[in-house]
Structure 1
Amino acid sequence: MTAVGALRHRFTHQTSVTLPDGVGGLAAIYLTLDQLWGALETLSTEPAASEASRLALLVHRVTLRAPNTVAPGDRLLLRNRVFAVEAVHDPDGRGRFTRCRCREEQR
């Protein structure tokens, strides 16, 4: 299990909201919801999907102190890094921690 002292990274939790863009379409923006303490662990790296892209796909596990409202489709920011949340679960069913599988968005 995760020790509370391992939660040493301060993540910014954001969720996507769709708003009118003023010209008849819609635009997605991210709203900041909370600051959360968490642990970051790299799970895997995969080569880029195409020859045109040189960026690898990085998959991470982020463990956060519960309760929180993180859901798939949200994102977590850590300094200049962006992590897209793909899955969320309670690792021991006791409501103490939330574990997120995240894909790092490389820019």
Structure 2
Amino acid sequence: MSGAGDLRHRLIHETAISLPDDAGGASTTFLAVDQLWARIESPAGDPSLSAERRLATLIHRITVRAPNTLSRGDRLTLGTRIFAIEALSDPDGRGRFTRCLCREEQT
């Protein structure tokens, strides 16, 4: 990655929160935390079967500027697209960027 000029997509960082429901349990919802500029690299397809239908799972590498508050289990959104964060790394070992391995599901 050459620098901040490669970060062309404005994504919303969301984190999961648990809210009590009326039945005594809890439901999970996502809360917007921050907006980040990001680079989204071409996906690799991994077709997988769900119980009810066939889903195409796309794996993306999304890079954002560090430091940030991203964690595994959070998600990034771009309009109606949702990218679930599976793993995080420091691509150049210098602490300038965070690379996320993200899963996007499409029906």
TM-score (norm 2): 0.90
Matched residue, 2:69: 69
Q: 8 Å contact 1:42–1:58 — kept in the other structure?
A: no
Q: Give 1:2 shift.
A: 3.7
CA RMSD of aligned residues (A): 1.7
Note the residue ranges of structure 2 that are not aligned, 5 or more in a row. none
Matched residue, 2:9: 9
Match of 1:99, SS state, is: strand
Q: Which letter maps to 2:55?
A: L
Q: Give 1:63 shift.
A: 0.3
* 1:106–1:2 distance in 2 versus 1, CA, 3 Å: farther
Matches within 5 A, 1:1-107: 1-49=1-49, 53-107=53-107
Q: Give 1:102 shift.
A: 0.2
Q: Give 1:58 shift.
A: 0.3
Q: 8 Å contact 2:55–2:105 — kept in the other structure?
A: no
Note the residue ranges of structure 1 that are not aligned, 5 or more in a row. none
1-side partners of 2:39 and 2:65: how far apart?
9
* 1:2–1:103 distance in 2 versus 1, CA, 3 Å: farther
1-side partners of 2:106 and 2:49: how far apart?
13
Which structure has more strand as a fraction of its residues? Answer: 2
Q: Give 1:56 shift.
A: 1.1
Q: Give 1:52 shift.
A: 5.1
Identity over the aligned pairs, expressed in percent? 55
1-side partners of 2:46 and 2:26: how far apart?
33
